[in-house]
Structure 1
Amino acid sequence: MQRIALTRRGLASLALATAVMGLLRPAAAALVPGQQEIVQRVETYFNGIHTLAADFQQIAPDGSLSTGKLYIDRDRGGMRFDYDPPSKILLVAPGDWRLIFYDGSIKQVNVIPLAETPLGFVLDKEVKLEGDVTVEAVREREGEIDLVLVRTKEPDQGQVVLTLAKRPLELRRWTVTDAQGLTTTITLSQVQTGMPLDRKLFVWRDPQLFGWPED
């Protein structure tokens, strides 16, 4: 497989798209009925979202901070991460099988199957936390719920922890761990749902050909 060269910031951002690690864990216990009910509530929450926009903060394994804007259009199957300057990183899911990752600092494009990304399931027509992903654990604490997700066919390859506020139910953050056990955390704020989103947000236009969006 061809190795790809990415900047340190690009590698941290790529953790949004690939949850691959070689950590072995014991088999997870089956969820109890109360936990299964929470999973169903989370599925209902995601299925009730048509569009979403939010600010995000990304903390990389080295502690560096990036910010930007997240857009999701479940009706179109689109997702977009716009990173604020000075970052030159852009991630776009245009509504097919792809998540396109662009690192403008080295002018490199990488294409990742959406099904292999931590949040790919959010764009399914019906969100079901089973099949391609499995809920390995449900953790509750005051005001928040954690869902630990693994890929069903390769449970030893990694995990993503989704954290949601309890009341009202709302996605707050997620954490991805890489092959060395380093974590990247993405925290959302100013979450809004149900607003119209410009379909152009989810059209992939290679910045190498068309220029950076704000240029």
Structure 2
Amino acid sequence: MKRALVVFCVLLSGCEVSGYKNLPPNEQAEVQRVEAYLNNIKGMRASFVQIGPDAGHSAGRFSYVPGYLRLDYIEPHPMELVAGNGRLVFKDMANQSITHLSLKRNPLGLLVHYPIRFGGQILVTDARKGQDSLQVSVAEANNPSQGLLTLQFADRAGHLNLIGLQGVDVRKNRFSVTLSDEEEGSDIPKSEFKFPSE
């Protein structure tokens, strides 16, 4: 009943709800594990496959350190995406176009806060523990309709590994990113997260 009330308040956007205190204690503990994992991961590289709003597929290399994300697309053609410091910059090598976006209303902005604290400006809408898996969904607390991000993890022997992202933006466009061949503990220099330029 309590969760139904919180969801109702979120849908109305009339209640001041943030964080994850609305969740049962066992789910709160899982959210705390996710916070610790994302804030303490030294660096992560992986291969990715992305499905965009138009059901188009793309693939490439994923790099992450707390506060920054980089996607180097190989398919369908070379492109770069770098997110951090409140903005996202995307460069298409095919035509040399560069797109600048604010992360304020983009679900990826919820992943590149640093330090990540699921409280205050972030609302945890759901936490689900499965067999060897965990997923946590988050939104902007003051305006959840601006977008939703679901973080997907493998959870084996008490150790988390980020394996996927699913998002819905303010225009209800959906995307998913599936990771494979993850390498954690990489010492990734911050220079790799320099925004693309013309």
- TM-score surpassing 0.5? yes
Alignment of 1:109-120 (within 5 A): 109-120=98-109
- Give the partner amino acid of 1:56: F
Alignment of 1:1-215 (within 5 A): 26-27=8-9, 30-74=22-66, 77-93=67-83, 96-167=85-156, 168-178=159-169, 181-206=172-197, 209=198
How far apart are the structure 1 equivalents of 2:136 and 2:109? 15
Q: TM-score, normalised by structure 2?
A: 0.78
CA-based RMSD? 2.5
Deviations 1:36-82 (A, max 9, x none): 111001111112212111111101244322111111233xx432110
> Retained in 1: the 8 A contact 2:82–2:89?
yes
SS in 2 for 1:159: strand
The Cα shift of 1:110 comes to 2.3
How far apart are the structure 1 equivalents of 2:55 and 2:160? 28
- Counterpart of 2:14? none
How far apart are the structure 2 equivalents of 1:164 and 1:32? 20
The Cα shift of 1:106 comes to 4.7
- Give the partner amino acid of 1:27: C
> Retained in 1: the 8 A contact 2:80–2:196?
no
How far apart are the structure 1 equivalents of 2:115 and 2:131? 29
More displaced stretch, 37-46 vs 98-107: 98-107
Would the alpha carbon gap of residues 121 and 45 (structure 1) be closer, same or farther in structure 2, given more than 3 Å must change? same
The Cα shift of 1:105 comes to 4.2
SS in 2 for 1:27: helix
Q: TM-score, normalised by structure 1?
A: 0.72
The share of aligned pairs that are identical, in percent, is 29
Deviations 1:172-192 (A, max 9, x none): 111112456442110111111
- Give the partner amino acid of 1:126: P
How far apart are the structure 2 equivalents of 1:202 and 1:55? 17
Aligned residues: 180
- Give the partner amino acid of 1:147: V
In terms of fraction of residues, the more strand-rich structure is: 2
How far apart are the structure 2 equivalents of 1:154 and 1:192? 34
How far apart are the structure 1 equivalents of 2:121 and 2:95? 33
Would the alpha carbon gap of residues 146 and 201 (structure 1) be closer, same or farther in structure 2, given more than 3 Å must change? same
Gapped regions of structure 1 (runs ≥ 5):
1-24, 210-215
